Structure formats: structure tokens, C-alpha cells
Amino acid sequence: MPEANWHDLGAVAELSRAPLQQVVVGRTRIALSHANGLFGAISGTCNHAGGPLGEGRLDGDYITCPWHNWKYHRTEGQGEPGFEAECVPRYDLKTEGGHLWVNLEAATKRHRVPHEPHPLARKIERAPGPIRVAGISTTAMDPANPRVSTSDLLLEAALQHAGREGRAETRMIKLNDLKFRHCEGYYSKSAHACTWPCSITQMDPEDQLDRVYEAIVHWGDVILLATPIRWGSAGSLYYKMAERLNCVQNQVTIRNKVLIRNKVASFIVTGGQDNVQGVIGPLLTFFGELGFLFPQFPFIGHSRGWSAEDMENNVRQVVASDELREGAEALVDRAIAMAAELVKVEFTHDHVARGGRKAHHMARHKETSA
């Protein structure tokens, strides 16, 4: 091989101190490892989502990607047992004069095994039919000993009203009934590590937040979210879900791709304590950043004030209130009417100018092919 392909990585004594490191030479990323007196050099770019292998960890003879835990043999580049065909390039090394040299012409080729795409990754196309309303309850409770939830009562009233006379298809999703993991911070590793579909959803077939993703991205025209007030904020299950929805918004950041288009969101906020405005503000901001549109007066709220600690009376008041029930019905009517107009026209766009938005362009390392 031509000598021009060999590059001096540095002193062996210095390089051997780190069991694993990411080395960048021009446009070539290399995961350089050292164990049991032997160096190994394979591509520093994971086949899965492009994670930096040299920033991962050594697990015996395998390098584990820091993003989604794919593994490759540290000297040969093939995948872990059972996935040997999933290969990244390896690079030849030599030692001269106390320095370690790498041949930048890869000794082997990258090989990606075709993987069946996740069902959520399909093209987003609205199927013909009536307006579809997905209700999302964020109330937490003991399912073995259920209690009355005022936000759920109004959500159920709205969905029943929407479904009368076939005006709309409805679906109720109770987060309390779903088993789903907390967000595990893939975005904190890198924006590009936070994928669509969600990394957890792709890796864990038992995770049930796919029901929410399906309803929000593919099925629903209207999302009607109901939350209790918990110390002036939305319920904890809402935040658990919202953190996992970062993968939807993040597609705008890393791909300039808007997943939520021509969809409407509305909200029901109730609680014994005050601060309806404090709860609804972040909800409107977050769902607006996902791409949802809002009808006139996009929420209803109810509370009895800061000092109303007699919660049983709060429940009784909501149960007995025709006015609140009518308000919930009118809320879903406004949302359905807006969604019906949006279905007729392509009002929103799949690409939107980034300036001033949470969509700053994220440049990616461009690597030489191997």
C-alpha cells in the first residue's frame, strides 16, 4: 500500500494510556482501543445512527456505542455474536520508532445488514374518513383502587360528544394504563442520538408509548390532552410523556422535517389548587413547537383556588357542573371544526425556516466512505 496512506497517530506510550479514544484524521474517524498490550483500530462511526464508537466503552473485546449500545469487535470490526455480519471497517496499524501509525485505507469494508423499519417510520399519510380525536389522560392513580379524576371526567364527556352520530372517530389513551420507560437522555448524548421513531421504542418492544406516537403522528387529527394540576404544574405522567416526545420535535432540528402537520391540539386543565394559566402556558408552548395548531380558546380550566383543600368538594362540584361539561363539549367542537378545514387544504409545511426557532441546524461530521 502507498506510504502516503500511513498516518502517525502519536507516541505509543501516550496512546496506550487510554483503553478507548476517538481519533479524527481529516474526514476519517477511528475508534482506537488498547487492551492486553494490543492496539485495535476500527471505524469510529456506528452503523446504526452514526454514533462515535471511540467515545463509547470497552466490554471485553467489544466496543459498545455510547448512543444505542451496538457492539463491534475492537480489532476486527464485526458485530457481537449473533450479529457478526454487521461490520464497520477496520484499519491496519504498525509501530515504528515508538510511534503508532495507522493506514487510512481501510482494510475491510463497512457492511450494513438490512433491518425492517419500525412501523412508526412509515410515510405519514392521512387515511380517508371522519375526523379522528385522540384523548390523552395524564392522571396517575392506583388502577386497583381507582378514584374520580375531574380532568378525566371532562375528557370523557368531550370524547363521547365528539363520537355522537359518527361525527368523529375517538380514541382514549390513559397514560396510567401504559407501561413505558422514562426518557433516558439520548438527546443529552447528542441531538443525532435522539431518533425518530424514539430510540427506546425501537429497542424495547415491550415499551407501550408507541400507542401515543401512533395517535399523535399518524392517526389523530385532534389531540385533546387532559391533566390535573399538581403543585401549580401539569401531572407527572404528562412530563414523563413530554420528555419522550422530544424525538418528534428533534426531527426539525436534525433533519428540518416536521412530523406534525395540519393537526389540532386542545387542553383540559383541572385541579383543587390554582394556577391554570401556569399549567397551560408550557402546554401551548410545547405542542406549538411540535407543530400543532390551536383553535380559538384552545383550553378549558377549573380550580377552586389556592386554599381549597377540601378536595372531595372539588370533585363533587365538577361532577355536578353542566357548565363544565358543556365547556368540554364546545372545546372539542372547536377543535373538530378547525381540523375539518385543515384536512381540506395543505395549510402547514414540512420544512420551516429555522431562524429564531428551536430548530438550529446541527452539522454532522462527514466521513470518507469505507
Query: What's the pLDDT at 102?
Result: 97
CATH code at 69? Answer: 2.102.10.10
In a domain, 108, yes or no: no
pTM: 0.88
Based on the structure, what is the number of domains in the chain? 2
Domain match, 92 and 130 both: no
Domain match, 310 and 167 both: yes
Domain match, 59 and 126 both: no
In a domain, 53, yes or no: yes
Query: What's the pLDDT at 366?
Result: 59
pLDDT, tens digit, 9 for 90 and up, residues 294-311: 999 999 999 988 887 788
Domain of residue 159 covers 119-344
Query: What's the pLDDT at 369?
Result: 46
Query: What's the pLDDT at 1?
Result: 42
Query: What's the pLDDT at 347?
Result: 73
Q: Which residues of the chain have pLDDT under 70?
A: 1-3, 358-370
Query: What's the pLDDT at 368?
Result: 56
Among residues 53, 75, 103, the one where a domain terminates is 103
pLDDT, tens digit, 9 for 90 and up, residues 186-244: 999 999 999 999 999 999 999 999 999 999 999 999 999 999 999 899 999 999 999 99
Query: What's the pLDDT at 367?
Result: 59
Nearest residue to 173 via CA among 222, 221, 138, 131: 138
Query: What's the pLDDT at 23?
Result: 97
In a domain, 369, yes or no: no
pLDDT, tens digit, 9 for 90 and up, residues 311-331: 888 889 999 999 999 999 999
Among residues 55, 78, 103, the one where a domain terminates is 103
In a domain, 230, yes or no: yes
